[in-house]
């Protein structure tokens, strides 16, 4: 049984607590409905500082390319923060008490997003915990790349069936400041039949100093890793401009970020002794999350690009050709 | 008796007071930007005249029935809540006339710069965030999402017509 972690809240004596960041993240891919959704709850800043923030986001991109959902921000002391999860009044993510599932709840009918999701890991316990230097500090990453989903999701006027839908869950934690010269590129691509490809690499804000790429492919219950030097990724064309930028107040003072230069077509290739694949992702819609550092000036932008993808490859000698959907984060 | 702001002048005073306590250097920056200029601000049917007397914010409630003397800025609660909820970009608000500013170039730039300082500082000042929450708690004046979707659909439709026209005229490359 896969192991869910607990939040890594810093103790009061932690000298690096000012830079504390952590989140729980769940993506949902309903291929039949062409829906991609994300739910995220996060903590920013030293927990005992009244400026520290808890941020909850739920956004879903439907077949029409429109984004439903919204953002809720509160003081960290006002949100309910417990070792197994973070609870806001309209968006919550937490591990179930028996540690067998991740539970997500969203109640934002005015923003067109209502959900109660149960996500159970499809894979046995796998060790996908990574740590890396990140700006002035470091970042940790734990991943559950394939989740079986149940529950209900309503986007706009449509009830989205979750039978056959796939989830992706990860958590990040560490110490850094928004506004530093830090960024990342991350993508999760879910193909028909439950094949999942995950890509991630840290970089600087200009994306011209790139860290080692991490790619793994999940297929038929097996994980196929790829060495960084056997991975290639190319960016072409331009993604649509963000249809939603949140929070709105920060979007208002950064009009220069309303049309970021984002990739509209991404080609990801990987090769290993047991697997070779090429995945092509085409952007359909974009949303932008603007993150401000709560204890000092500094801002970062997370661009969420949703779209369709297709994969061809050979895994353990067997050919594979699948279509699906994905989401790619391009951070600046 | 509630101490929550009710009139526009009270909201502005509360925001600046919160800024002055938490980030006095930014309050000083705003005073320097404003200099000796007084601006008029209107939100729906409420209006206020804002300036500084030395270090002190000098804000006076106005009868909005009077024409405003430049520099001035006007908007509506519908526009402000649409912006705060991420359903409207500032450029769109200006294009549609939901957000207007009048004055010399420097006066308009100054008003925008002051707003930018206030919004940026609010991300670090809990009291300003609570004021924003109280303002939104007054209620959302319209179905912002429906209106946003309708506007997007209209834009997509116009873009499609434009593309068809350009293609028909042979003006789009392969």
8 Å CB contact between A289 and A71: yes
Q: Phi, psi (5° rounding) for residue A185?
A: -125, 130
Give the nearest partner residue to A255 out of B91, B125, B129, using CB atoms: B91
Residue A276 has pLDDT above 90, yes or no: yes
The mean per-residue pLDDT over the stretch A237-266 comes to 97
User: Under an 8 A CB cutoff, do B84 and A248 touch?
Assistant: yes
Query: Which among A112, A246, A296 has the least Cβ separation from residue B86?
Result: A246
Local confidence band at B1 (pLDDT 50, 70, 90 cut-offs): very low
Average pLDDT for chain A? 95
Residue A253 to residue B119, Cβ atoms within 8 A: yes
Is residue A272 over pLDDT 70? Answer: yes
- Cα–Cα distances in angstroms (integers) from residue B163 to residues A50, A286, B170, B173, in the given order: 52, 21, 10, 12
Is pLDDT above 70 for A1?
no
Q: Does B129 touch chain A (CB under 8 A)?
A: yes
Quick check: B87 and A248 CB within 8 A? yes
Cβ separation B124–A245 shorter than 8 A: no
- Over residues B29-40, the pLDDT tens digits come to 999 999 999 999
pLDDT the model gives residue A127: 59
Confidence of residue A129 (pLDDT cuts 50, 70, 90): confident
Averaged pLDDT for residues A264-285: 98
Q: What's the token pair of residue B33?
A: 């930007």
Q: Nearest-CA distance from B119 to chain A in Å?
A: 7
Q: Is the pLDDT of residue A200 over 60?
A: yes
CA distance A69 to chain B (A): 10
Distance from CA of B60 to the nearest CA of A (A): 26
> What are the residues whose beta carbons fall under 8 Å from the beta carbon of A134, sequence distance 6 or more?
A174, A176, A182, A202
pLDDT over 80 at A205, yes or no = yes
* Tokens found for residue B38: 């007084």
Determine contact: B85 vs chain A, CB below 8 A: yes
Q: What is the mean pLDDT of residues A189-206?
A: 96
Given a cut of 90, whether residue A12 has pLDDT beyond it is no
Contact B90 A252 (CB under 8 A): yes
What percentage of chain A carries pLDDT values higher than 70?
A: 98
Q: Is B39 strand, coil or helix?
A: strand
pLDDT reported for residue A5: 83
pLDDT tens-place string over residues A294-314: 999 999 999 999 999 999 999
The interface residues of chain B toward chain A in range 16-55, judged by CB-CB distance below 8 A, are: none
Closest to A69 in 3D by CA, of A285, A298, A238, A255: A285
Mean pLDDT taken over chain B: 93
- Residue A126 pLDDT more than 70? no
Structure confidence at residue A284 (pLDDT) = 97
Nearest chain A residue to B121 by CA distance is A297
Residues of A in contact with B122 (CB under 8 A): 249
pLDDT for B66: 75
**DSSP letter for each residue of B89-117:** -HHHHHHTTSSEEES-HHHHHHHHHHHHH
Measure the CA–CA gap between B123 and A49, rounded to whole angstroms: 14
CB atoms within 10 A of CB B137: 9
A296 Cα to chain B: minimum distance (Å):
7
User: Mapped to the 3 state alphabet, what secondary structure does chain A carry?
Assistant: CCCCCCCCCCCCCCCCHHHEEEEEEEEEEECCCCEEEEEEEEEECCCCCCCCEEEEEEEEECCCCCEEEEEEEEECCCCEEECCEEECCCEEEEECCCCCCEEEEEEEHHHCEEEEEEEEECCCCCCCEEEEEECCEEEEEEEEEEEEEEEEEEECCEEECCCCCEEEEEEEEEECCCCCCCEEEEEEEEEHHHCEEEEEEEECCCCCCECCCEEEEEECCEEEEECHHHEEEEEECCCCCCCEEECHHHHHHCHHHCCCCCCCEEEEEEEECCEEEEEEEEEEEEEEEEEECCCCCCEEEEEEEEEEEEEEEEECCEEEEEEEEEEEEEEC
Distance CA A59, CA B123 (A): 22
CB pairs below 8 Å between A and B: how many?
Answer: 69
Contacts of B85 in chain A (CB under 8 A): 70, 111, 248
Q: Give the residue numbers in A contacting B (CB under 8 Å), as ranges.
A: 50-51, 66, 68, 70-71, 73, 75, 110-112, 243-253, 255, 258, 292-297
3-class DSSP state of B79: helix
Looking at the complex, report in whole angstroms how far the Cα of residue A292 sits from the nearest Cα belonging to chain B. Answer: 6
pLDDT tens-place string over residues A131-179: 899 999 999 999 999 999 999 999 999 999 999 999 999 999 999 999 9
- Contacting residues of A for B119, CB less than 8 Å apart: 249-250, 252-253
Task: Name chain A contacts of B82, Cβ cutoff 8 Å.
Answer: 248
Which chain A residue's Cα is nearest to B81? A248
Q: Specify the DSSP class assigned to residue B68.
A: P
In A, which residues are within 8 Å of B140 by CB distance?
Answer: 110
Flag whether pLDDT at A57 surpasses 70. Answer: yes
Residue A235 exposure: Cα atoms within 13 Å on the Cβ side: 14
Mark yes or no for CB contact B119/A50 under 8 Å. no
- For residue A285, give how far its alpha carbon lies from the nearest alpha carbon of chain B (Å): 13
Residue A2: is its pLDDT beyond 60? no
Best probe of the A interface among B88, B123, B141, by most A CBs < 10 A, is: B123
Q: A86 pLDDT band (50/70/90 cuts)?
A: very high
Answer yes or no: are the C-beta atoms of B51 and B72 closer than 8 Å.
no
What is the chain A residue with the closest CA to B126?
A51
CB contact under 8 A, A253 and B149: no
Distance from CA of B24 to the nearest CA of A (A): 14
Tell me: the pLDDT tens digits for B64-109? Answer: 777 899 999 999 999 999 999 999 999 999 999 999 999 999 999 9
Contacts of B152 in chain A (CB under 8 A): 66, 243
Alpha carbon of B151: minimum distance to chain A alpha carbons (Å): 11
pTM exceeding the 0.90 threshold for the entire prediction: yes
**Chain A nearest CA to B125, separation (Å):** 6
Contact A245 B140 (CB under 8 A): no
What pLDDT, on a 0 to 100 scale, did the predictor assign at position B174? 62
């Amino acid at each position: 049984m896969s192991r869910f972690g607990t939040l890594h809240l810093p103790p009061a004596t932690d000298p690096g607590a000012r830079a504390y960041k952590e989140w729980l993240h769940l993506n949902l891919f309903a291929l039949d409905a062409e829906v991609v959704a994300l739910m995220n709850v996060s903590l920013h800043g030293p927990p005992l500082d009244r400026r520290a923030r808890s941020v909850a986001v739920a956004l879903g991109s439907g077949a029409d390319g429109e984004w439903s959902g919204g953002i809720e921000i509160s003081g960290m002391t006002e949100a309910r923060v417990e070792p197994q999860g973070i609870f806001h009044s309209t968006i919550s993510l937490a591990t179930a008490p028996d540690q067998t599932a991740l539970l997500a709840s969203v109640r934002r009918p005015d923003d067109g997003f209502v959900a109660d999701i149960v996500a159970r890991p499809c894979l046995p316990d796998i060790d996908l915990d990574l740590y890396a230097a990140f700006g002035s500090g470091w970042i940790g990453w734990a991943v559950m790349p394939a989740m079986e989903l149940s529950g209900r999701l309503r986007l706009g006027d449509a009830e989205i069936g979750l039978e056959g839908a796939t989830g992706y869950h990860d958590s990040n934690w560490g110490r850094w400041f928004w506004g530093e010269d830090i960024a990342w590129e991350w993508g999760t691509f879910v193909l028909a039949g439950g094949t999942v490809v995950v890509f991630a690499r840290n970089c600087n804000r200009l994306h011209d100093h790139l860290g080692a790429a991490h790619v793994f492919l999940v297929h038929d219950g097996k994980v196929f890793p790829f060495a960084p030097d056997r991975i290639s990724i190319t960016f072409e064309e331009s993604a649509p401009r963000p249809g939603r930028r949140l929070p709105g107040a920060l979007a208002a003072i950064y009009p220069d970020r309303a049309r970021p230069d984002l990739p509209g077509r991404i080609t990801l290739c990987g090769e290993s002794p047991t697997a070779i694949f090429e995945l092509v992702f085409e952007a359909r819609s974009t949303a932008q999350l603007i993150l401000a550092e709560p204890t000092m000036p500094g801002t970062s932008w997370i661009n969420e690009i949703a779209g369709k993808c297709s994969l061809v490859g050979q895994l353990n000698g067997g050919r594979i050709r699948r279509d699906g959907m994905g989401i790619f984060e391009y951070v600046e | 008796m509630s101490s929550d702001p009710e009139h526009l002048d009270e909201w502005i005073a509360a925001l600046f007071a919160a800024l002055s306590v938490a980030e006095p250097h930014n309050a000083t920056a705003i005073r320097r930007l404003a200099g000796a200029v007084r601006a008029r601000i209107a939100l729906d049917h409420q209006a206020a005249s804002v300036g500084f007397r030395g270090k002190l914010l000098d804000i006076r409630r106005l009868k909005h029935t009077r024409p405003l003397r430049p520099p001035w800025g006007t908007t509506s609660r519908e526009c402000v809540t649409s912006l705060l909820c991420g359903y409207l970009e500032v450029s769109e608000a200006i294009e549609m006339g939901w957000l207007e500013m009048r004055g010399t170039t420097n006066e308009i730039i100054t008003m925008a710069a002051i707003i930018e300082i206030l919004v940026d500082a609010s991300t670090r000042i809990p009291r300003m965030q609570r004021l924003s929450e109280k303002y939104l708690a007054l209620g959302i004046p319209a179905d912002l999402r429906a209106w946003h979707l309708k506007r997007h659909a209209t834009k997509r439709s116009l873009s499609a017509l434009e593309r068809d026209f350009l293609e028909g005229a042979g003006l789009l490359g392969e």
